[in-house]
Structure 1
Amino acid sequence: MSEAMERGNLWVVSAPSGAGKTSLVRELVAHEPRLSFSISYTTRPPREGEVNGRDYVFVDEDRFVAMIDAGEFLEHAQVFGNRYGTARGQVDRELAEGHDVLLEIDWQGARQVRTMMPEGRSIFVLPPSREELERRLRGRGTDSDGVIERRLREAHAELLQWSEFDYAVINDDFHRALADMQRIVAGEGSNLKASRPAVGELAERLLAETPE
């Protein structure tokens, strides 16, 4: 008689827009074959270079609302006027097959996941400074000045949530931040807890620099 397959681990990664979480998550998944990336559904239009089914599943408002009504989302939220959501069935299947699953979602979604799947673990990514956050947002070349200013204002609300997360990574150096995330998902991140003093000090400084 074969042993029951061990269920995989669920990881949630959140950050203020521009903190660099998407680049970190892509590299993390590329380096960690045991990790399965859950592709979010969204109503926003694709950005240049994005591919449907690889970066997001792009759907219209009616389809998204129908999925909400059918209870198909593990979490969903409205961010900057667009909807984002994680299909519960996909996550459940991957976990049941023993795969570790990584969700890249905003803090609202992370809070919903904590309620639905409290066994999951979460990582918050912080930028090293407000100036660097703005530099990265402008460096994308995809948003207008108005959208960038709105994202910077929203960063304040996002940064307020850092203490709800299990781990925190400061993205002041990409390769070091990636190594920190690799250690966390490998179960070796005991010194990278969100509760460590350096994180609280940085979050306090960022909140003081970021307009509400």
Structure 2
Amino acid sequence: MADHSAEAGSITVLAGPTAVGKGTVSTFVRENYPEVSLSVSATTRAPRPGEEDGVHYHFLSHEQFDSYIEEGAFLEWATVHGLNKYGTLKHTVEAAARAGQKVLLEIDLQGARQVREALPGAHFVFLAPPSWDELVRRLVGRGTESPEEQQRRLETARLELAAESEFDQTIVNEHVETAAAELVQSMGITPRTA
């Protein structure tokens, strides 16, 4: 994707450690700020309860994902926690940006670094937890990973937290509505009041 400044300037990248609430904040933005185009990532992981294909993620087989990699169809992609692949399809981001929409990419740290290389004019937001203990509580509390997977994710989270300085802005996710309001405000959108 060529770095057209008007297009890159309409793209915001939201990243942060595992279990910080990136998906929850993004869902709140999708449901309350229809003027934001939320990029739907592709992944090889299985859907969690309540997740829908094409809404929360494009759920792909490993073979499908690898085929897209070979075609150069991703703006960014990564193998996360040594298990599954996640990626952002170029064509969906390009189309939304060309249409003048504010685009939000919710991705991991590796992906954010790749997007910075491709689109240095994008705005990069780090979503941080209120504390390490709260991050651990959120990860364990959601109950979607085995104890081994939880441990692997927490080890990754320590490294991800150390990358905060690479971002243009940090938002602490203490309350979803407040974090979402700060995020859309950083995108040039007036937050809604309750």
TM-score, normalized by length of structure 2?
A: 0.89
Q: Could you say which residue in structure 1 is the equivalent of 2:40?
A: 39
Give the letter aligned to residue 62 of structure 2. Answer: E
Provide the aligned length of Structure 1 versus Structure 2.
Answer: 183
Which of 89, 110, 113 is 2:112 aligned to? Answer: 110
Provide the rounded CA distance (Å) in 1 between the counterparts of 2:41 and 2:175.
Answer: 27
Rg comparison, structure with higher value = 1
Question: Matched residue of 1:114: which SS?
Answer: helix
Provide the rounded CA distance (Å) in 2 between the counterparts of 1:154 and 1:69.
Answer: 27
Q: Could you say which residue in structure 1 is the equivalent of 2:73?
A: 72
Q: Could you say which residue in structure 2 is the equivalent of 1:155?
A: 157
Residue 187 of structure 1, CA deviation:
6.6
Provide the rounded CA distance (Å) in 2 between the counterparts of 1:35 and 1:171.
Answer: 19
Alignment CA distance shift 1:145-1:69 (3 Å): same
Ranges in structure 1 where 5+ consecutive residues have no aligned partner: 1-5, 189-212
Provide the rounded CA distance (Å) in 1 between the counterparts of 2:64 and 2:49.
Answer: 23
Question: Matched residue of 2:29: which SS?
Answer: helix
Provide the rounded CA distance (Å) in 1 between the counterparts of 2:24 and 2:189.
Answer: 21
Give matches, 1:47-126, under 5 Å: 47-80=48-81, 81-126=83-128
Residue 130 of structure 1, CA deviation:
1.2
Question: Matched residue of 1:13: which SS?
Answer: strand
Stretch of structure 1 that moved more, 114-123 or 178-187:
178-187
Provide the rounded CA distance (Å) in 1 between the counterparts of 2:47 and 2:176.
Answer: 25
Question: Matched residue of 1:50: which SS?
Answer: coil
Question: Matched residue of 1:122: which SS?
Answer: strand
Residue 29 of structure 1, CA deviation:
2.5
Please provide the CA RMSD for this pair.
1.5
Question: Matched residue of 1:138: which SS?
Answer: helix
Q: Could you say which residue in structure 1 is the equivalent of 2:182?
A: 180
Ranges in structure 2 where 5+ consecutive residues have no aligned partner: 1-5
Give the letter aligned to residue 177 of structure 2. Answer: H
Q: Could you say which residue in structure 1 is the equivalent of 2:17?
A: 16
Render the CA deviation track for 1:16-60: whole Å, top value 9, x for unaligned.
Answer: 011111111111222222210111111111111111111111111
Question: Matched residue of 1:53: which SS?
Answer: coil
Which of 123, 126, 129 is 1:127 aligned to? Answer: 129
Render the CA deviation track for 1:64-96: whole Å, top value 9, x for unaligned.
Answer: 111111110000000021000110011111111
Question: Matched residue of 1:52: which SS?
Answer: coil
Contact 2:28 2:176 (C-alpha < 8 Å) held by counterparts:
no
Provide the rounded CA distance (Å) in 2 between the counterparts of 1:50 and 1:173.
Answer: 22
Alignment CA distance shift 1:175-1:187 (3 Å): closer
Give the letter aligned to residue 70 of structure 2. Answer: D
